[in-house]
Amino acid sequence: MFWIDDVAQQINKAFPDKEEIIIRDEKTASGRVHVGSLRGVAIHGVLAEALIQLGRKVTFYYEINDCDPMDGLPVYLDQNAYRPYMGKPLNAVPAPNELGKPSSTPTATNNFARYFGNEFVEVIAKLGFNAQIVWSSDFYHEGRYNGWIEKACAHPDKVREIYQKISGSEKSEEWNPLQIVCEKCGKVGTTTVTEFNGKEAIYNCEPNKVTWAQGCGYQGKVSPFNGRGKLPWKMEWAVKWAALPVDVEGSGKDHNASGGSHEVSEAICKEILGAKVPFNIPYEFFLFGGAKMSASKGLGATAKEVSEMMPPELLRFLMIRTRPNQPIDFNIEGDTIPRLYDNHDECAAIYFGQKTDTPDLGRAFYFAQMDPQNIPARYFSRFSRVAFMVQIPHLSITKEVEKLKGITLTPEDKKELEDRVAYARRWLDEFASDQAKFQIQTEIPVSAASLDSEQKKFLQAIATLLQENPSLSGEELHSKIHELKKASPLEAREAFGAIYQALLGKDSGPQAGWFLEALDRTFVIERFKAIN
Ligand SMILES: [Zn+2]
């Protein structure tokens, strides 16, 4: 069974009586969001879709954490200009301008976290995941967590014990699971609560609590409710589960290690808050490689960038075809995108019943669709061939694809083809290796002069073949060229090299039969005849 069907059925059984199943995932808006964060979105989003198809009512909350302190400076920001904001909640830091410097004074809807969070939210929408977006600050300010903060902080000794027992982390006897946004300097990463009486917290804003931010030394007493206080993150995670309450929430491998944050939050959730721990789906990393993407960005590709390199269905497909417990290692360069398309098309063929093996893969195609209720049957031209065709001058790609399909293209076929043409051009511009790229030389390339007499004879033979058989298909041409090669003393590399040298001025190129078939016949015949 495909993993999405499998996990959706497990969840369906785990909550037989719940009227509505609540799914949640979260991302901290500490800068541009890496494409890897889409894996969590996709896993939760697609499970929500699968459960709805099983007849369940589901809400998928995607929370952008904008309350964590700024504790690091991304390389694309002006380091000096942003340093004074270190330690402040991300929603109280100004959004950057084009120069990476702080822009206007932060407001509730225009700040650092909103700036980067909104960019990610747009990608989530583009991929068709129906997530209800929530901002942590809204929940804090609305007082949603007030009761839970009270409960969480009533027995700090028990919380300390859990931290110690599970993660081995020792907290001092004055430690409280609470921080306060300093009333004087506005920082939250620098404060320590020394006492909490259930209504007000006494806190210090410490100059040396953390290495990345400096507190102002203020000492105060204030109510931690309605957004003035913030829970430390493992406690906060448990409170978020309890407050909605959350039924299903997966999390990355790093959180699920033994003694790790998930285990600590589980214990807090059960023992301190008396709430249920959500159904967990631990998932592996999505690793993104490619020197072109990582060099200048400092963190690799962002979700937004990758969402512009391929259609949303293909990005969904990339994110969901692999089981959550398997890592995804994706390198954008070379042939990765054409191979992803090939794999996608193979799954489509299974879905449409043109192939009968491994029905699981048909489900991968199904769940990758933006609207699984309405999947138009359509002809998929192989991406690598489209990338080849867009490089041939004066070629009617539609006609070529019609020849391959055997009948007229439907409007759905044409739309799919247009899409692939656009993405193929982008791929050739940005990521394709030199092997996949070529340019038909309008004059005889200088390098063709170095072809030997056997190679020249081979080209003459092809010219004659083309002249005598004007209607050979690409496939027929392919086998005829192979026969000619066998009849000559040339090695394959020398024979095909002659074709590419004559037309492209380089040693390699696209598959010869298709290539010659796609080019203007008269042009090829004249070119080959001229090299003798
Ligand atoms: Zn302060």
What is the structure's pLDDT at 381? 95
Centroid of ligand 1 to alpha carbon of 218 (angstroms): 5
What is the structure's pLDDT at 299? 53
The residue among 85 and 287 whose pLDDT is bigger is 85
Centroid of ligand 1 to alpha carbon of 184 (angstroms): 5
* Residue-averaged pLDDT of the chain: 93
Centroid of ligand 1 to alpha carbon of 188 (angstroms): 8
Centroid of ligand 1 to alpha carbon of 153 (angstroms): 22
Average pLDDT rounded to a whole number, residues 432-449: 91
Centroid of ligand 1 to alpha carbon of 69 (angstroms): 13
Centroid of ligand 1 to alpha carbon of 208 (angstroms): 12
Write down the ipTM of this complex.
1.00
The whole-angstrom separation of Cα 75 and Cα 82 is 11
The whole-angstrom separation of Cα 205 and Cα 214 is 9
Centroid of ligand 1 to alpha carbon of 162 (angstroms): 29
Centroid of ligand 1 to alpha carbon of 103 (angstroms): 23
Token pair of 402 as six digits = 């019609």
The answer to whether the beta carbons of residues 199 and 99 sit under 8 Å apart is: no
DSSP code string of 172-214 = -TT--S-EE--TTT--STTEEEEEE-SS-EEEEE-TTS-SS--
Residue 176, amino acid: N
Centroid of ligand 1 to alpha carbon of 1 (angstroms): 55
Instruction: Say yes or no to pLDDT of 298 above 60.
Output: no
Strand stretches in 29-131, DSSP E: 57-65
Centroid of ligand 1 to alpha carbon of 216 (angstroms): 4
Q: How far is CA 14 from the centre of its chain?
A: 29
Cβ-based burial of 103 (10 A; exposed 0-12, middle 13-18, buried ≥19): middle
Residue pLDDT, tens place only, 188-240 = 999 999 999 999 999 999 999 999 999 999 999 999 999 999 999 999 999 99
Average pLDDT rounded to a whole number, residues 469-481: 90
Instruction: Say yes or no to pLDDT of 417 above 70.
Output: yes
DSSP label at residue 17: S
Centroid of ligand 1 to alpha carbon of 107 (angstroms): 20
Confidence of residue 292 (pLDDT cuts 50, 70, 90): very low
Centroid of ligand 1 to alpha carbon of 164 (angstroms): 29
Centroid of ligand 1 to alpha carbon of 82 (angstroms): 17
What is the structure's pLDDT at 300? 64
Which residues lie across from 192 on neighbouring strands?
A: 204
Centroid of ligand 1 to alpha carbon of 92 (angstroms): 14
Q: Count H helices and E strands in the chain, helices first.
A: 22, 12
Domains in the chain, CATH or no CATH each: 298-435 (1.10.10.770), 446-530 (1.10.10.350)
How many other CB atoms sit within 10 Å of the CB of residue 145? Answer: 26
Average pLDDT rounded to a whole number, residues 294-316: 80
Centroid of ligand 1 to alpha carbon of 112 (angstroms): 20
Residue pLDDT, tens place only, 374-406 = 999 999 999 999 999 999 988 899 998 998 899
Centroid of ligand 1 to alpha carbon of 190 (angstroms): 7
Backbone angles phi, psi at 200, to 5 degrees: -130, 150
Centroid of ligand 1 to alpha carbon of 140 (angstroms): 20
Centroid of ligand 1 to alpha carbon of 189 (angstroms): 9
Centroid of ligand 1 to alpha carbon of 202 (angstroms): 13
Most distant pair of Cα atoms in the chain: their distance: 97
